[in-house]
Structure formats: structure tokens, C-alpha cells
Chain A
Amino acid sequence: MESLSGRKKVLEQKPMNFWERMYLPAIFKGMAITFSHMFKKKETIHYPEQQREFSENWRGMHSLKRDEHGRERCTACGLCALSCPAEAITMISAERAKGEEHLYREEKYAAVYEINMLRCIFCGLCEEACPKEAIYLDGPIVPSDYLRKDFIYGKDKLVEKPLKEIEAEKAMSR
């Protein structure tokens, strides 16, 4: 049949000659190729010690952000939980009491905020849904663990450290 694209190539299949039918030359050629690979640079990245470089928009573990005064940005509106296609996010909201203004930016805050890291698919929709710029998937790879319950991350693991501690760490590293 006529080829419509004009790119069709007919492969010519010749019967094998004596050396090709012996297979041994081809096998030795293959073995020479595999042997040469023994001395090539290994592609392995020794994971926990070495880490692959990630791109700028790579999505890792979530972190709940604080504002410039070190107050939690999250107002427990629930939009992230609503947008989550894997239903990985739950939260319980609470009202800010008097004297807690230095802890929470809005009048309402998340008393409990849990992400099930086994359900999360790291799509980043929570990040996009958040009106308060409170959640970002800018962390490292979620570490492995032994029990399912240990993959439900609460505020202790998710909320960013207070500003003072971060600055102290920066000062230490300098």
C-alpha cells in the first residue's frame, strides 16, 4: 500500500550468514560492551547522605507558614481540605482568645491540622487554594516510617519554626 506520510521504510531482512548464525561473535561483542560499563561512572546517588538536586517548583513536604511577626497565617477556612483530591487534610478550628494575638494572625485558627502523608499525592492544589498563603509544599522528601499512624503529620511537624529560632540557626551556621 502507498504510504501516506512518505516516511515509511521497508526493512530488508537478509538471511543470516555463517558467522551470524554462530551467534558467538555477537555474544562476545555484547560481553565487551557490558565489560566496558564496569569502568564507567556509576549513576547511583547514595540517598540519605547525598541528595538529588530538585527543581525550583518541586513539591515536597508541606509546611504551614508564619507571617513576618512570627504568627501562624492559617485561619482554618478549610479550603485546602476541600480542594484536596485525596482527602488527606483535616482540621479543627478554634477561636483566638485574648492575649493570643502574637500567636495567630486571624481571629480564627487551626487548633488541630493533620495531613495524612500516605494519602497525599503532592499535587499542590492546597497550595493554590489557600487564600492566606499559609501552606506551601516546599519541604524535603517525606521520610519513611514503620507504622501507618506515624504518617499522619500534625502541627508539630508541619508548622514552620518561630522566626527567632530560624534566625538563631542562621546565625549558628554563619
Chain B
Amino acid sequence: MELEFLIEKTALVLVLFVLTLTIAAYSTWAERKVAAWLQDRVGPNRAGPFGLLQPLADGGKMFFKEEIIPSGANKYLFIAGPSLALLVSFLGTAVIPFGQNIEIFGRVVPLQVTDINVGILYIFGVVSLGVYGIMIGGWASNNKYSLMGAIRGASQNISYEIAMGLSIIALLMVTNTLSFKEIAAQQHGWHWNVLYQPLGFLIFLICAFAETNRVPFDLPECETELIGGYQTEYSAFKMGAYMFAEYINMFVSSVVMAVLYFGGYNYPGMDAVNQALGPTWGPLIGVGVMFFKIIAFIFFFMWVRWTVPRFRYDQLMDLGWKVLIPLAIANIVITAIVIVGFDLFNKL
């Protein structure tokens, strides 16, 4: 392995790591700001200009708070829960292409840590591991509320993963590949997958809300019924780790939705821009476009959170099993018929 390759990948991983942390930290700030704006308030504005230092203050507070481990808890699993949730949430972004190949110092660098040909399966595997963090943490707390939150989290994630996977299958029938790089490249210019798979996108979006445990599907931690759900016994930075994991998950699902359905770094008229700006600055604009889409999705997550009330548990299960899964299967069938129909039409 050459040295340049190592340096390139290390730099990419570091940048991605820091970026994920920063975005997650500032999501907490943005969440409070968006919540405030939607409710005719101002939001945090005391720490630094526009309250921009608020995440640092919150993080510092989390570090210096007293850590309490309940006497009946399983000590090792109690620590393993939040650690696992945080660790697993970081893994997702490794297969995401954040832009086209970029030329730096005469070297062509792909803006992707690794392009594995089963990228979508990898993301699914990693995201479903996240539920272990919730499950282990909730069980190790030795608290009934935590356990109920954990069980809800597990059953909810499993139910919605099915519908999510089925909606992805319809997408794969259109793209014919599992690699994120190829899927992104296929959506060149205007050919975004959301135009071919609107129903699939809607199902995926709803399932993404459930997978990240966001309102209106935040049943694992719902305060009104379960105090804090699986987080009830957690304090200080272990609680912060769970919160951070949630925001990183939100970031990862926004990224995945942007790449799979909204064209990733593609935007109309990109060829002309790339030609005008050259191989270094052109792709950077694509990266900017990508992050614009990601931030728009994160805003959407928050916007929904401060609008829609929480589902009841039986309604959640009804929606998952009786509505979304049949819809996703219907979507697969319709997609298949349309694809076969086009093939026959082309042969004639």
C-alpha cells in the first residue's frame, strides 16, 4: 500500500469523524432553535453570538455531572449500552460518497472512505446494530421503565426495518446495484430516484423516522408514559452518548436519503459548472449541494418533531405492519410490472 493512499484515507476518515461530531453537536443547537422559531420564541441566544457556543456548554455540563450507576444494574452492560449506541452510529458514513472524484495536487481522490459493492446492506446492518445499544442499556438498568422502553425500541426497529428493506428492494430494481457510488453516479443531473420511486421514498422516509426514534415514533423514550424509556437511569455523559447517537443517526439517515433518493451530489447543470471550474473546484460545489440536501433533511426531521404528536403504540404497530409493509410490497410489484413493460416495449 502506498503512503499517499494511507494519508488520503486517514485524512478522509478524520474529516468525516470530526464533521459527524460537529453536525451532531450543532443539531442539538439547531433543534432548539427550530423548536423556538416554530413556537414564536427566540431559542438559545446567550452563549456566544446566536447561542452558537451552546453545544460546547451543554457538552461541558454533561462531562462534569455526577455519574450514577444504579446498585441493581449490571455494571458492564450498563456502560456497554451507550458506548455501543455511539460507536455503531459512527460507522454508517464510511460507505457514503460525498462528492465526485476530486483532483488534489494532481492526484484523483474519491470522496468516499470505501466503496464496497454491498454498501446498502452494510448501512442496514450497521443501523440495525444500533438497537442493541438501546436493548442492552435498557435491560442493564434493572428498571421497569427502561426495560419497557428497550422492548418498544427493539420491536419498533424490527417492524420498520422490514418496510424499509422492502422499499429499498424496489429502488434496487431500478438501480440494479447495491453500491452507493454507482447509485449516486446514476442519478446524474436531474435523474433523481425520487422521481422514479415517489412511493418508495415516502415509505423510506416514514421508516427513517421510526429507525432514528424521532417524534412521532419516539416511543422508546417517550417522557409522558415511560419517564425516559431506556434512558431513565442514565446520567452525565452516558445519557449524552445516547442523545448524541440519536443525532448522529439522524445525520446518517439524512445522508442516506439524500444519496439514495435525492441524487446526492448531483444537481441540474453540473456538467457545465464542472467544465467551468475544473476538476478541483467543480466537485466541491457538488459537496456543497450534498450538504445542503442533508441539512434540509435534518431540518425536516426537526420540523416534523415540533408539529406532529406522538403515535400510540398500537397505532405504531398498525402503521408498520398493516399499512407500510403491504404498500411496500405493492410498490415492488408495480415497479416490476413497469420495468418488464418497458423492456417488452423496447423489444417491439
Which residues from chain A sit less than 8 Å from chain B, CB to CB? 27, 30-31, 33-35, 37-38, 40-44, 46
Q: B227 in the interface, Cβ–Cβ < 8 Å? A: no
Q: In angstroms, how far is the closest chain B Cβ from the Cβ of A104? A: 45
Interface contact A34-B42, CB-CB below 8 Å: no
6 interchain residue pairs of minimum CB distance:
A44-B42, A34-B307, A38-B37, A34-B38, A30-B307, A31-B307
Binary A-proximity of B9-45 (CB < 8 A = 1, otherwise 0): 0000000000000000000000000000111111000
Closest CB in chain A relative to B219 CB, distance in Å: 17
Question: Does A35 lie within 8 Å of B303, measured CB to CB?
Answer: yes
B41 partner, pick from A30, A35, A42, beta carbons under 8 A: A42
B304 interface contact, C-beta 8 A: yes
Q: Which of B40, B306, B308 is close to A42, meaning CB atoms less than 8 Å apart?
A: B40
Bound-state CA distance A129–B281 (Å) is 79
**Cβ–Cβ < 8 Å partners of A30 in chain B:** 307-308
Min CB distance A49 to B, Å, is: 11
Chain A nearest CB from B35 CB (Å) reads 10
C-alpha spacing A38/B43, complex, angstroms: 12
Q: Which residues of chain B in 294-321 are interfacial with respect to chain A, using CB atoms and an 8 Å cutoff?
A: 303-304, 306-308
Q: What interface size band does chain B fall in? A: 10 to 19
Report whether over half of chain B's contact residues are helix, strand or loop; otherwise say mixed.
loop
Residue of A nearest to B46 (CB): A46
- CB contacts (< 8 Å) of A37 on chain B: these are 37-40
B42 near A42 with CB under 8 A, answer yes
Whether B307 contacts A38 by the Cβ 8 Å rule is no
User: Complex Cα distance A27/B42, Å?
Assistant: 25
A16 to chain B, nearest CB (A): 14
Q: For B304, list chain A residues within 8 Å (CB).
A: 27, 31
Contacts of B42 in A (CB 8 A): 42, 44, 46
- In the complex, the answer to whether A41 meets B306 with C-beta atoms within 8 Å is no
Instruction: Output the least CB separation between B261 and chain A (Å).
Output: 17
Residue of A nearest to B42 (CB): A44
A41 CA / B307 CA spacing, docked (Å): 19
Instruction: Output the nearest chain A residue to B216 by Cβ-Cβ distance.
Output: A27
Q: Which residues of A contact B39 (CB under 8 A)?
A: 37
B38 partner residues in chain A, CB cutoff 8 A: 34-35, 37-38
Please name 11 further chain A to chain B contacts, defined as beta carbons within 8 Å, in addition to the given A31-B303, A37-B40, A42-B40, sorted by A numbering.
A31-B307, A34-B303, A34-B306, A34-B307, A37-B38, A38-B37, A40-B40, A41-B40, A42-B41, A44-B41, A46-B42
> Are B308 and A27 in contact (CB-based, < 8 A)?
yes
Contact present for B307 and A43 (CB under 8 Å): no
Shortest Cβ gap from A34 to chain B (Å): 5
Q: Can you offer 26 A-B residue contacts whose CB atoms are under 8 A?
A: A27-B307, A27-B308, A30-B307, A30-B308, A31-B303, A31-B307, A31-B308, A34-B38, A34-B303, A34-B306, A34-B307, A35-B303, A37-B37, A37-B38, A37-B39, A37-B40, A38-B37, A38-B38, A40-B40, A42-B40, A42-B41, A42-B42, A43-B40, A44-B41, A44-B42, A46-B42
Give the Cβ gap from A60 to chain B, nearest Cβ, in Å.
24
Closest residue of chain A to B45, judged by CB?
Answer: A46
Chain B min CB distance to A144 (Å): 15
Closest-CB distance, B315 to chain A (whole angstroms): 10
Minimum Cβ distance to chain A for residue B297 (Å): 14
On chain B, the residues within 8 Å of A33 by CB distance are 307
Please indicate the chain A residues that have their CB under 8 angstroms from the CB of B40 in the complex: 37, 40-43
Q: Which residues of B contact A35 (CB under 8 A)?
A: 38, 303
CB distance from B224 to the nearest CB of A (A): 20
The residues of A that contact B306 with a CB separation of less than 8 Å are 34
> Quick one: closest A residue to B206, CB to CB?
A24
Distance in angstroms between the alpha carbons of A58 and B30 in the assembled complex: 38
Determine which residue in B37, B41, B304, B307 has the highest number of CB atoms from chain A within 10 A of its CB, and name it.
B307
Q: How far is the CA of A38 from the CA of B30 in the complex (A)?
A: 13
> Which of B37, B304, B306 counts the most A-chain CB atoms under 10 A from its CB?
B37
List residues of chain B with CB within 8 A of the CB of A40: 40
